Structure 1
């Protein structure tokens, strides 16, 4: 703790320094001032907890110092020390909150009793101040969450206590209008990706403007991500003026262009959800491709939503080609069909993105490829809206082209691995069934692959066609039987799949160079 002794007489200051039990009261720093002006400078810079002050001093006397402290530094505890036993001075001291009034010459015992009591009072008051600050900090921290929750309930027609309306000063309005602002990803990025800070800043700007106009209150709509709702206590015409002023402020302070949709003008709380739904419809149906359009949306037509599913067969053909060029023309066709007169609404974009993910999931499963679904489809769309609140179509298309190209590369790798594995399975199947006649059609039907594909891939893998490979397996088995058994040649021929032993002998000699009997004699 710190103490300040204010007196124009040096020997008085020295006496207090000498007589007081500083250490016992945990006071480690002691400062001096000869008048009220110097004392104020020290108080401002060092914030001493205990101040001893004379009443009669030059420049600025004790009464004036006490008055200044009462207005600017009420945390400090003051003990008046004076040579004047005057009721006028005592009354002034008590009026401005002095803790005690000591007369000179100072009695050491009285001085220390007073110091102990005043230090104790300061500690108790400081504890209360700390608790109060903590509570205030908690309340301030919780206020936005409380506000957002209660006002979201109002918009959603959830019954709330009457005092909530009074608390947010929403009563005594003849008309209400809901304004809706969607917070873009570019705004969040401007605040280092922190959504809470983004909303906090935007809401401060908006609510400051609304407070000046007694226009209502803005809050974070917790039912839907990325939305700020303006609950305006104004009719539609007045709401339009306020919305434009808010837009200008956000542009000037943050460099962001935001679109605000205004819902229906209503005259009761139960109709607020209707006003919100109308504003939401305005936002979803607004054209996101033009920069020069009005950023206050008050009315627009419901747009026809087109389906990406209508292009299912074209997508299948493009995938089967395995080439990105097929998708370039398809994407161009979809763009032509979906965008007419440079018009593309947010609702269509969300629908398009949702169907795109469904189709992607289907084809990833079709080729047994690992995939993960994005957690927030709307955010994927919003990430392509720039600071002018315009959708970057070319950037969006480039992103889709990269995703499709990656898919095609994975399909090719998968097909390469799969075809190799299947050919190896076919080779095993031939080895297991070499003793009977195996037709290419049988293999094709068993492995669900065309005969042409099997023939081509088998020869690429083993550098020999299937019929030649089957013969080589049979002759190899015949050699083993000739070496290790006394079976007749015609029995061996039957065992390895030849019904005609003469034909077997002919094939054997062609491959081995000698007849079966000669081979047996040679191996004895």
Structure 2
């Protein structure tokens, strides 16, 4: 079993990682938890973990101090950094000390397990004397926006959109010269992991996909783009065939799809494309079945989840907005107040007041 150490001063953040990780499946176990870098260093010496997942911003001995010390004293330990958008520049320096990868808050379960799987592969490679390549944080950073677009286009069966995303990645990899081999390998590996995630999420078998990218595909930005296009197009055709095979629209499947993707850019047009019906027909039958249109249903889901997360005072309102699918916090405030009649902060204060007046409730 590979041992994992969680480091975060907020217990709810550690709870999220503990809950989301597919530990048994990855042959891993959480060996210990620490609230700051100093305690983490002590536990690393005692427990000898293979992987450390650390927040960057902690009081006292923070993630930067921890990473510097681990880099010097325990170079074989794999580090995974967790940070918010606001902390990224702060985290960037520390990542140069050998982090395997980073996760942006709010943590996505699939991304967490993909990164853990990557750690496991590197640990296995190291045990067999093979070399593993280092992560380039800048490559991961600009890839993240392409990944978000790819999720939407793939799930909506938008072949043109999928192709456009991959072409955009190719241009980023070769803006005017020869890219570093590590950047090609990293971009290819991350997009291959994403494809596996998308296939699993849509009930497709991923066994046919190779675990590693062929060396021939890593010769240039054009070759890696062509390789990824071939894989994505084949998977998309498989998904389209699967969806077309069903000759009748199943509204419960549509609803379940929305429930699982409400925080993404789900649109009526995209849903109609994904389920091979016109948007007018989908809108009509959805409203007849559920008593509201698709847009209102998505909004209701987002607002109900936001209200639920607001009840936990440890979760910042900015994080609540992101979890509910709103990158613009100001817009989230306006939508929330229009929906519930009170601002998010006011609702949180009201709930806190109720708890104080009724501590046993």
Give TM class, smaller chain. Answer: 0.3 to 0.5
Higher Cα Rg, which structure: 1
TM-score by length of 1: 0.24
**Greater relative contact order, per chain length (Cα 8 Å cut-off, separation 6+):** 2
